[in-house]
Amino acid sequence: MITQMKKYTFLVFHRDYEPFLEQLRELGVVHITQKAAGLIEDNEALQAALQREDELRRLLKQGAPDQLINERSNIQERIAAAQEAAKQASIWGEFDAARIAELKAAGYALRFFECATKSFQPEWGIAVNEKGGKTYFVQIGEGLDLSETTASELPAPEKSEAAWLQEIEHLKGLYAAADTRIVAWQKANMDDLQAQLTEARQQIDWQKVTLSTDKLAEGALCLFEGFCPIDKEPELNAMLAEAQVYYEETDPEKEDATPIELKNNFFTRLFEPITRLYSLPNYAELDPTPFFAPFFMLFFGLCLGDGGYGLVILLAGIAVILKAPKLKEWGWLGVFMGATTMIVGILTGMFFGINLEEVAFLAPVKQYFITETNATVHFMGGSYHPMMVFAILIGIFQILFAMGFKVVKITLRDGFKYAAYDCAWLVALVTLIVWAATASSLSTIGLYCIYAILGICALFILFYSNPDRKILLVNIGGGLWGTYNMVSGLLGDVLSYIRLFALGLAGGILGNVFNALALQAGGALPGWIGWLPTLLILVFGHTLNFALCLISSVVHPMRLTFVEFYKNAGFEGGGREYKPFKKL
């Protein structure tokens, strides 16, 4: 739900302005209304403060000044280069670089080559090493011209492998010393940097508030607005009773940029990050979180569809709750999602890709699994998988639920006359569903009642699409256009829910395929070693399948929520989060 807010308008004498802001910041319950972003962003002082904040954040993130970080990075690059050089030098064995230089000075320069071993000719030079199908050889002084052969000349090694290894150990010592300097710098400065960042953020907040204040009477008076949640209103009013300011307390208007504070129970609060991912509702709306949360959880379970994978998520959620208290809400979300997936997977007879219908010791209960074998749905001459039918039915229910949500929202905000059009569509669709479900047993009176309800709904749809339109033909045109959009949109919306069944089925089939491959690979080898490929295929296959299924089980429920549910619920969004002016 959205916390109810009160709007406050403050009029303060310029000498009392800053002390009053200090009082508000100490109390920390008022969200100050800011002016348009452009008016604030053009302020040079604020831009300087924002730049300082970015610098502090960057410095805290990288953990040391650029000089120390670059020094360590350069040493690390030198170590990597030396390791590669040592690898190249190892080809030529042990040698003395000084002796090679003396030979060169005496006119006996060494040239280094490589070629395929099968192509090497002894007269080309002295073979030094053979490795990886290649022969490495040396020419002393003016050797044969090998430009027309398959041999390739290599750069002369600067040092021997032993010399490079000695250089690497020296560089590692320099790296450790650089790392020690960084750690020492962090111990000496990080707390102070964090304090500076907090102070910078408070200065930014202060400047944004002052820039959002209007100066009246040639600067003698300061006028600004703010919002306070009603549960924190007594604290604010107690402070204002003692302050030397004039203020007005009113209910927010439609045009006000009223901030949004979501206040939900433990279960619903777990799904608030999903709401924030798209957009917060505006103040004139209802919070959709409690209404889509159960659907989202069910959709996740249907898409993942494997009881074993659900067990993994459940156990992972419990581990997060126990081992990482700061992330316990995400852990609880994993517990609920995992438990739902386990229930769906067990009901549909799938556990780590194993078809539970085929397990021998489960034979007494296999008739209770919701599978095509046990619960095929026959409709209009066709046979359908029960989970596909369930996916469509749950989709129809959520769409109708979203339309009812829209009717309630518009009625509470604007009055029922503005919700009559949407209510007519909702009643018409429900009536059509009832008609289709009871057509064979419907009496004549019942049929006439359905005709009457549909006729009344048609009148509202065609002639009352917008109560503010005064011209009948315009309303009829709007009603016809709305009918076209509704019919075409509903078909696409309902079909989108079939993916709930398809994704769950695909994950189960792929898991079953990996199980079969693992057993075949293990069975082709002796028993004492056959378990190894079986284990490797099972671990790799189910890890891959789990990752793919997990992605689709998050993405598709989000799509159904943000597209199908939000569209039919008339979600507007655009709300700004409640951020009180307070000390950090």
What is the per-residue pLDDT across 277-323, written as a single tens digit (0 to 9) for each?
989 999 889 999 999 999 999 999 999 988 999 999 999 999 999 99
Single residue among 167, 184, 215 that ends a domain in this structure = 167
Confidence of residue 379 (pLDDT cuts 50, 70, 90): low
Segment 434-448 mean pLDDT: 82
275 and 236 in one domain?
Answer: no
Confidence of residue 529 (pLDDT cuts 50, 70, 90): confident
Segment 368-393 mean pLDDT: 79
pLDDT attached to residue 528: 66
447 and 465 in one domain?
Answer: yes
395 and 473 in one domain?
Answer: yes
Q: How far is CA 420 from CA 82, 407, 433, 483, in A?
A: 78, 8, 20, 15
What is the residue whose two structure tokens read 């398809």?
A: 502
- Cβ within 8 Å of residue 564, ≥6 positions away: 395, 398, 399, 402, 493, 496, 497
What is the residue whose two structure tokens read 């002052």?
A: 210
Structure tokens at 490: 């509903």
pLDDT at 366 over 70: yes
Single residue among 261, 283, 316 that ends a domain in this structure = 261
What's the predicted TM-score (pTM) here? 0.77
Structure tokens at 332: 């609880």
Find out whether 365 and 347 touch, Cβ atoms under 8 Å.
no
pLDDT attached to residue 417: 86
Structure tokens at 254: 């439609």
Confidence of residue 37 (pLDDT cuts 50, 70, 90): low
Asked whether residue 209 is domain-assigned, the answer is no
Highest mean pLDDT among 7-21, 360-374, 473-487: 7-21
Tell me which of 167-181, 266-280, 364-378 is least confident.
364-378
pLDDT attached to residue 39: 56
Q: Identify the burial level of 398 via C-beta atoms within 10 angstroms of its C-beta, where 0-12 means exposed, 13-18 middle and 19 or more buried.
A: buried
Per the structure, the complete domain to which residue 387 belongs is given by 266-568
What is the residue whose two structure tokens read 């020296």?
A: 170
236 and 356 in one domain?
Answer: no
372 and 417 in one domain?
Answer: yes
314 and 239 in one domain?
Answer: no
Asked whether residue 17 is domain-assigned, the answer is yes
pLDDT attached to residue 173: 94
Single residue among 261, 288, 322 that ends a domain in this structure = 261
305 and 252 in one domain?
Answer: no
Tell me which of 29-38, 251-260, 450-459 is least confident.
29-38
Beta bridge partners of 229: 5
Q: Any alpha helices (H) in 282-380, and if so which ranges?
A: 289-304, 307-323, 328-347, 372-375
CA angle 486, 444, 461 (to 5 degrees): 20
- Cβ within 8 Å of residue 427, ≥6 positions away: 453, 457
pLDDT attached to residue 134: 93
pLDDT attached to residue 82: 93
- Cβ within 8 Å of residue 60, ≥6 positions away: 190, 193, 194, 197
Task: Map residue 252 onto helix, strand or coil.
Answer: coil
Tell me which of 38-47, 56-65, 343-352, 496-505 is least confident.
38-47
Indicate the helix (H) or strand (E) that contains 208.
Answer: helix 161-211
| Count of other CB atoms within 10 angstroms of residue 393 | 12
Asked whether residue 418 is domain-assigned, the answer is yes
> How far apart are alpha carbons 33 and 208 in whole angstroms?
10
pLDDT at 145 over 70: yes
Asked whether residue 74 is domain-assigned, the answer is no
Residue 111 sits at φ, ψ, to 5 deg, of -120, 140
Q: How many CA atoms lie within 13 A of 413 on its CB side?
A: 17
Is the model more confident about 466 or about 533?
Answer: 533
274 and 243 in one domain?
Answer: no
335 and 273 in one domain?
Answer: yes
pLDDT at 38 over 60: no
pLDDT at 473 over 70: no
278 and 346 in one domain?
Answer: yes
pLDDT attached to residue 41: 63
Q: How many domains does the chain have?
A: 3
303 and 237 in one domain?
Answer: no
| Mean pLDDT, rounded, of the chain | 87
22 and 161 in one domain?
Answer: no
Structure tokens at 576: 């700004």
Asked whether residue 449 is domain-assigned, the answer is yes
Asked whether residue 271 is domain-assigned, the answer is yes
Q: At what angle do helices 498-523 and 289-304 cross, to 10 degrees?
A: 30
Confidence of residue 485 (pLDDT cuts 50, 70, 90): confident
Asked whether residue 179 is domain-assigned, the answer is no
Asked whether residue 576 is domain-assigned, the answer is no
pLDDT at 354 over 80: yes
pLDDT attached to residue 317: 93
